[in-house]
Chain A
Amino acid sequence: MTPTPTIFAPLFIAATALFIWSCWKRLSLTALGRPDNRLDNIGQRIGDTLSYAFAQKRVLAKPSGLIHVAIFWCFLVLMVANTEFILHGLFPGLTFTKLPDGIFMPLMQMIDVVSLITLLAVIAAAIRRAVSPPYPEARTFEAFFILFLIATLMLANFGVNAAKISRMQGSTLTLAESIMPISSWFAPYIPSGAGKLVHDLSWWTHALVLLLFMNLLPLSKHFHIITAIPNVFLRRRDNPPLPEREEFNAGNSFGINQVDGYTWKELLDSFSCTECGRCQMACPADQTRKPLNPRGVIGQLKHNLMANGPLLKEGKAATTPLIGEGDASISEEAIWSCTTCGACLQACPVFIEQMPKLIPLRRHLVEMESRFPEELLNLFENMEGRSNPWGIAPTERGKWATQLGERPYEPGRTEYLFYVGCAGSFDARAKQISVATALLLDKAGVSWGMLGKDEKCCGDSLRRLGNEYVFDKLAKENVALFKERGIKKVIVQCPHCLTTLKNDYKQYGIELEVIHHSQLLLHLVQDGRLKLPKQADLGKLVYHDSCYLGRHNGIYDEPREALALATGTEPLEMPRNREDGFCCGAGGGRMWMEEFTGDRINLVRAAEALEQQPDTICTACPYCLTMLDDGIKDLRADKVQVKDIAEIMAEAVLR
């Protein structure tokens, strides 16, 4: 059947209409979301789109990403070819042959070669998915079928061209062979006289598969072909991603328990997921067999939106709960399993925001339903009543420093507030970090003071656990106190205090200059204010990145540099380090919760550290220290010590 517009045009119009309708049906649901301005910093957004969407920076973080990059770039070229294919189908007179030779010939050559690359890349992708899939469930029919369709398109394209070439002679043939070298390979295999049949068959195969492919996009994970680039452009630009503040007025509701509680961009995320599984492979909860899978959460959100969206649009009530069991709901255990480590955010090639979607669900459970794991009741009451997780009397807070004498922060006279934090004030082991830090500050002649019994918890755990109401009270009290005392520069030894004071409190109108002790100690050595008379002899030392120091605040180098100076050698690295660092298991308030399901995260991380056969594991966070210390004890590796960076610096400076 000769290609003819009489048949192709109605097919094309119907397929396009169906495609637009499917896209609209989905994308229009994002309008249910709350407003959120994602059009600020246009220049940076364009830059991000170029480097992350077009140059695929994050896709390339894994070797298999190369296949994707090949397919992506080939698709851009083939879009030109397919536009011609469709135009030609609709208006037979319109073909590339109308172009000047200088454009026509290289274009044809490029399309021909790119088609081969695409075919090879698709075969490679299929083999990779079959042999070593990113996660076992990734071997879906859909994934293989789409690859099959792409391969079919390439072969049909070769078929069309080869059939044409097989009927050519003389100089036309020579020209055709030079501009379609790949297609020419196939031409000799076409029996003489079958040229037209092969051409028409290939042409219609190409046409129908193309229209089918287009219509499968919105129905599948391949919708990302349309949504991923805008999703990168519309990414969140704040790091760390701060949760929104809540207004505690009567009549308000708190947190999210219905899909339209998210912003439109958060809903768009659900249509941009390619199910590549990188978030899942990086997620400490998923990797220790807990029921939280960030990829799953995004999928559940999509299914929930598809189920409830049409109802909500008509003003009817949602029928599928957002929080609950099933593939269109997010389970409570998943919600509570998150350590807020941010590895998912770091891993996602298209900047889907997985972790920040869970906090509002926690808020709903805590603030609206008072439903949370039992262990948290004590925590919440201790935080509210005594402003520390353990419920120890606030009057005890400054006692770790008794032997250092009175060290009050005096407005106008003291340079730095040493904000010790709850762990550094009350936890027996972490108090030693406080002492080491204080002694080093004194040795360097730093002007510092503390708030003593007036210091309150920063509220980090409360905020990550969704108890925004109590966090809000604590934050307001702290900010008022800081303002009253004229505090501007703050030293912390806990990355959770760091991020809360530095980032979260900005929402409360205070910009503090907060420095982590690992940074300050390095600066003091570099400035010559701290001398290193001997190198700390701690044997082989491996450094563990705290998520809130690293991923949330970008502090990777200073602790390593400080350690190299203190010990004379670069610290050892675990396989998962820096941006890819693996959580200790204590973030997001998990410090205060039991871990009943799967493997214990701290044991997994401690084992990874022990693989480097260290004598010392260095942490820069009191929670990490507790988790890894417990981990190595459970693994019976008692000879390995876990030390904070300040203790290691103190070995070099003070001993």
Chain B
Amino acid sequence: MLIVACIKQVPDTTQVKIDPVTNTLVREGIPFIMNPYDTHAMEAALQLKDQFGCRVAVLSMGPPNAEATLRKALSAGVDRAILLSDRVFGGADTLATSKVLATAIAKLNDEVEPVGLVICGKQTIDGDTAQVGPGIAVRLGYQQLTLVDKVEELDLTNKKLVVSRKLEGRHERVQAPLPAMLTVVRELNRPRYPTVPMRLAAATAEVEVWDNNVLQLDPQTIGLKGSPTWVSKIFSPERDKGEIVGDGYADPEGTVDLLLGKLMEKDLLPL
């Protein structure tokens, strides 16, 4: 059985700036990281690999420089890293993205090994839509189990799994037949730290690149052309300039009194 983890390379959140003219992210000089939720998705796949001996492939759609993030995945121990990269895939919204990813997964399923699980992060930290995972599930006709914080049982003989979903204020225990698509939350696991030999091996390992010659999709249904979503404006919300209250080192007690007074004035304390 093949487990596919979908990962995305995103700009490091603390350093994102938005170009007010073009409404796009200023990418110059900004480091990229693997979307944090996706690191947990990949770890979940790797733990199932350790436990059941399944093979793990990671898929990412992105520009050629996303190869760096796929190498990170290789250093963590995935068997195959595939970058879906083509100019015609560019500018895609979640609909078009899930189409490309689902097509690649179907191809792996048909030509390489039956896919049992697709695991995605619950959302990315740049787009925050949480739509791509479910989009893949719908296109492939897989069961979708979102916000998973625990894989309780995976039964490969009877092709089913039981997971716990983390909902607001409660947990839900769900059983579903395979194949299934999971989106995962941070509480699921602690991503592994790659060993140095794995990092060194990953540096020379192959990151496969699939372009549209491989996927053979109609250019009208993918990329910018296949994306009905239009972004009208992106902006950082303005924040009122704060105020430095007192000197906590010189006069801790006075400063606390001052702060409490201010908070009470604004009715911000639940008294």
Within 8 A of A (CB), among B49-100: none
Chain B residues with CB under 8 A of A248: 196, 200
Q: Which of A374, A377, A429, A469 contacts B196 (CB 8 A)?
A: A469
Closest to B14 in A: A393
Closest to A377 in B: B193
A51 at the interface (CB under 8 A from B): no
A380 touches B193 (CB 8 A): yes
- Interface residues of B, count at CB 8 A: 18
Nearest-neighbour CB distance to chain A for B161, whole angstroms, equals 27
Asked if A178 lies at the interface with its beta carbon under 8 angstroms from chain B, I say: no
Residues of A within 8 A of B192 (CB): 370
Q: How far is the CA of A395 from the CA of B197 in the complex (A)?
A: 32
Residues of B within 8 A of A432 (CB): 249
A-B contact count (CB 8 A): 47
CB nearest to B203 among chain A residues: A250
Cross-chain contact B190 with A377 (CB below 8 angstroms): yes
Are B249 and A393 within 8 A (Cβ)?
no
Q: Are A385 and B196 in contact, with the CB atoms below 8 A?
A: no
In angstroms, how far is the closest chain A Cβ from the Cβ of B27? 15
Q: A416: CB under 8 A from chain B?
A: no
Choose from A368, A372, A385 the contact partner of B197 (Cβ within 8 Å): A368
Taking the nearest CB of chain B, how far is it from the CB of A388, in angstroms?
11
Q: Mark A356-374 against chain B: 1 for CB-CB distance below 8 A, else 0.
A: 0000000000111110101
B window 1-52: CB within 8 A of A: 12, 14-15, 31, 33
Query: Does A368 contact B195, Cβ atoms closer than 8 Å?
Result: yes
Q: Once the chains bind, are A367 and B195 in contact (CB under 8 Å)?
A: yes
* Inter-chain contact A367/B190, CB cutoff 8 Å: no
Other-chain contact of A369, B31, B195, B200 (Cβ < 8 Å)? B195
**Is A447 on the interface with B (CB-CB < 8 A)?**
no
B12 and A385 contacting across the interface, CB-CB below 8 Å: yes
A540 within 8 A of B: no
Contact B196 A395 (CB under 8 A): no
Residues of chain B within 8 A of A370, CB atoms compared: 192-195
A429 to B193 CA separation, bound complex (whole angstroms): 31
Once the chains bind, are A374 and B190 in contact (CB under 8 Å)? yes
Closest chain-B Cβ to A102's Cβ sits at a distance in Å of: 70
B31 proximity list for chain A (CB < 8 A)? 385-386
Q: Are B196 and A254 in contact (CB under 8 A)?
A: yes
- Docked CA distance A385–B196 (Å): 16
With A377-B190, A385-B33, A393-B14 as known contacts, state yes or no: A469 contacts B249, CB within 8 Å: no
Cβ of A272 to closest chain B Cβ, rounded Å? 33
Q: Does B204 contact A (CB under 8 A)?
A: yes
B31, B33, B193, B194: residue with the most chain A Cβ atoms closer than 10 Å: B193
Q: How far is the CB of A104 from chain B (nearest CB, A)?
A: 68
B2 to chain A, nearest CB (A): 25
Closest to B200 in A: A250
The reply to whether the CB of A392 lies closer than 8 angstroms to some CB of chain B is yes
Inside 8 A of B199's CB, which chain A residues have their CB?
469
In Å, the complex CA distance between A377 and B43 comes to 14
Asked if A37 lies at the interface with its beta carbon under 8 angstroms from chain B, I say no
Chain A residues with Cβ under 8 A from B203's Cβ? 250
- Name the B residues within 8 Å of A393 (CB-CB): 12, 14-15
Inter-chain contacts of A372 with B (CB < 8 A): 193
Q: What are the residues of chain A within 8 A of B15 when measuring CB–CB?
A: 393-395
A44 interface contact, C-beta 8 A: no
Q: Is A239 an interface residue (CB 8 A)?
A: no
Contacts A250-B204, A374-B190, A393-B14 given: A367-B196 contact, CB under 8 Å?
yes
Interface centre among B14, B31, B33, B199 (most CB of A within 10 A): B14
Answer whether residue A169 sits at the interface, using C-beta atoms and an 8 A cutoff.
no
Contact with B along A494-513 (1 / 0, CB 8 A): 00000000000000000000
Complexed CA–CA distance, A250 and B205 (Å): 12
B252 nearest in chain A by CB position:
A638
B201 within 8 A of A: yes
| Contact yes or no, B201 A250, CB < 8 A | yes
How far, in whole Å, are A562 and B190 apart by their CA atoms in the complex? 48
State whether A368 touches B14 (Cβ < 8 A). no
User: Which residues of B186-238 have CB atoms within 8 Å of chain A's CB atoms?
Assistant: 190, 192-197, 199-201, 203-204
Are A386 and B12 in touch, CB under 8 angstroms?
yes
In the complex, what residue of chain A is closest to B16 when comparing beta carbons?
A393
Among B31, B190, B197, the most chain A Cβ lie within 10 Å of the Cβ of B197
- The residues of B that contact A385 with a CB separation of less than 8 Å are 12, 31, 33
Check: A253 CB closer than 8 A to any chain B CB.
yes
CA distance A162 to B261 in the complex (A): 94
Q: B193, B196, B203: which has the most chain A beta carbons within 10 Å? A: B196
Instruction: Give A374 to B193 CA distance when docked, in angstroms.
Output: 11
Query: Which residues 155-198 of B sit at the A interface, judged by CB distance below 8 A?
Result: 190, 192-197
Complex CA gap A117/B61 in Å reads 84
Residue of B nearest to A638 (CB): B252
Closest chain A residue to B15, Cβ basis: A393
Given A250-B201, A374-B190, A368 and B33 contact (CB-CB distance below 8 Å) = no
A331 to B36, CA, bound (A): 33
- A172 contacts partner chain B, Cβ-Cβ < 8 Å: no
Q: List residues of chain A with CB within 8 A of the CB of B195.
A: 367-370
Inside 8 A of B14's CB, which chain A residues have their CB?
386, 391-393
A41 surroundings in chain B (CB, below 8 A): none
- Give Cα distance in the complex from A394 to B14, angstroms: 9
Bound together, the chains give a CA A605 to CA B201 distance in angstroms of: 45
- Chain A residues 379 to 437 lying within 8 A of chain B, measured CB to CB, are 380-381, 385-386, 391-395, 429, 432
Residues in A with CB closer than 8 Å to B196 are 248, 254, 367-368, 469
Q: Known contacts A252-B200, A374-B190; can you find 7 more A-B pairs with CB under 8 A?
A: A250-B197, A368-B195, A368-B197, A369-B195, A372-B193, A385-B12, A385-B31
The 9 closest A-B pairs by CB, nearest first: A393-B14, A367-B196, A250-B200, A370-B193, A469-B196, A370-B195, A393-B15, A254-B196, A368-B195
Q: List 5 A-B contacts (CB under 8 A).
A: A248-B196, A253-B197, A254-B197, A377-B193, A394-B15
The residues of A with any CB-CB pair to B shorter than 8 Å are: 248-250, 252-254, 366-370, 372, 374, 377, 380-381, 385-386, 391-395, 429, 432, 469
